[in-house]
Structure 1
């Protein structure tokens, strides 16, 4: 019997977001919880991802984007999350997930249904985070492809600077426990309303 792989069913990953962002703000944020992603952990996880021809950051708390639009997050020495930032790689992630389940010392992480994911964009985005986070996430202090595992609006979160996009605006991914998604969404709306 084959296992059901939730990475192939993005419609099953949803938040209960009811609010909308303030239209007067220069900062935009979107609920990206349905965007395909998956994770792996274990002594052979890094070697497995390299064999899958994915870029693997050298150190924890770093991220890299491959040519197809998959961003690889290295959260620790042996924990990795893959995010389909281009939103065009669901099939590829499904295939990687399938092969990963057959690997020795590679363990699947189900981050796609444990975490909500938001994308924040705007020239004042890094400054906005100062209202909800104690870590300096402005561009001068928080480099592109850097990861902060911190507290945002009193909720544990993973923040990734993805600002290499040619749009010119700051761009961040924020991943946090799914049960706190409405609280975090409301906190972003309140903080962003001042910009």
Structure 2
């Protein structure tokens, strides 16, 4: 089993997940992640996974949409919408001047690295990269009971008929500013949450505590990868 302490880059939730019995593995860029927990073979009613080790990258500025389109990203300027990409990554349009790119669940970050490397201030594109892998923790919450659970933590009505797939809410969750995106995997509702990494453990504890009433709990990234594979 991988020792997460052997890696320079780790999730801000690493210590808390380790105390819950996480089994660890490493991504290609040598970042430790919680691959599984005991009991992952049967998903709980609400499954909560730490995706913080996965690559992510932001861009901001008046020329951001055009710059992303020029680089082959599928998107338009509609704010608070998520645009799935052919490789399984996600492009979150937070505003006409800001996007957030999330890697596929397999952790492949080559495309995001290329996007970051291709940016040059001398090009005058009126956009600049933001290191969201450092600034934001990333959780995913799956399950049909998730909207009811979120009603305890968030004022947004996340019932499936009120908050459609691929919509984004920039709101308060557990009294913290959060970016919340619905991206279903097959028939399973899935909500991605990005929050300030400095308060990641507090935030995760709030989500786990709220989900406990519904039989929810932590799972490894591997459980979400299986969902994505169908």
TM over 0.5: yes
TM-score by length of 1: 0.87
RMSD after superposition: 2.1
How many residue pairs get aligned? The number is: 184
**Which has a greater percent of helix?**
2
Aligned to 1:175: 194
Q: Is the 8 A contact 1:29 1:120 kept in 2?
A: yes
Note if contact 1:119-1:173 (Cα within 8 Å) is conserved in structure 2.
yes
Distance 1:145 1:11 in 2: 33
Distance between the aligned counterparts of 2:57 and 2:206, measured in 1? 26
Q: Which moved more, 1:178-187 or 1:93-102?
A: 93-102
Matched, 1:87 2:106: yes
What runs of 5+ residues in structure 2 fail to find an aligned partner?
A: 1-6, 21-36, 215-230
Alpha-carbon displacement from aligned partner over 1:36-59 (angstroms, at most 9, x marks no partner) = 110101122111110111111331
Structure 1 stretches of at least 4 aligned residues deviating more than 6 Å after TM superposition = 21-24
Match of 1:162 among 177, 183, 190: 183
Determine which of 108, 124, 128 is the counterpart of 2:129: 108
Cα contact 2:103–2:109 (8 A) shared by 1: yes
- Matched position secondary structure for 1:174: strand
For residues 160 and 208 of structure 2, the distance between their equivalents in structure 1, rounded to whole angstroms, comes to 21
Choose which of 156, 178, 188 in structure 2 pairs with 1:135. 156
21-30 or 153-162: bigger deviation: 21-30
User: For residues 44 and 113 of structure 2, what CA distance do their matches in structure 1 show?
Assistant: 37
In structure 2, do the counterparts of structure 1 residues 138 and 22 end up closer, same or farther at CA, with 3 Å as the change threshold?
Answer: farther
Closer/same/farther in 2, CA of residues 182 and 91 from structure 1, 3 Å limit: same
Unpaired segments of 5 or more residues in structure 1? 1-9
